[in-house]
Amino acid sequence: MATKRIVATGETVEVTPLSGAELTSFREHQEDLQTRKQVENDAIAQKETDKANAKAKLIAGEPLTEDEANAIVL
């Protein structure tokens, strides 16, 4: 059952509540997006850590790991 609502712009819009299945699907999609964002942020943080470690090891004359070498080359 659709209801009419007036939004901030003064327009009247019809709003249909989500069914249980639609709401579940929406929440699962939101959780998936959050998980993907966290994985991306973790990868960025790891690359920055590898760069910092590589720099410190280069200055100290120590050998680099492959990930550290890739971080400064790529």
Instruction: Count how many residues are written for the chain.
Output: 74
| 62 is a domain residue | yes
The dihedral formed by the CA atoms of 26, 32, 36 and 41, expressed in degrees to the nearest 10: 80
In the chain, the amino acid numbered 37 is K
Question: In sequence order, which ranges of 1-74 are alpha helices (DSSP H)?
Answer: 20-60, 66-73
In a domain, 71, yes or no: yes
Quickly tell me which residue has 């019809």 as its tokens: 14
**Cβ atoms of 70 and 43 closer than 8 Å:** no
Residue 52 within any structural domain of the chain: yes
Domain encompassing residue 48 = 42-74
Number of domains composing the chain: 1
pLDDT in tens, 12-71: 877 788 889 999 999 999 999 999 999 999 999 999 999 999 999 999 999 999 999 988
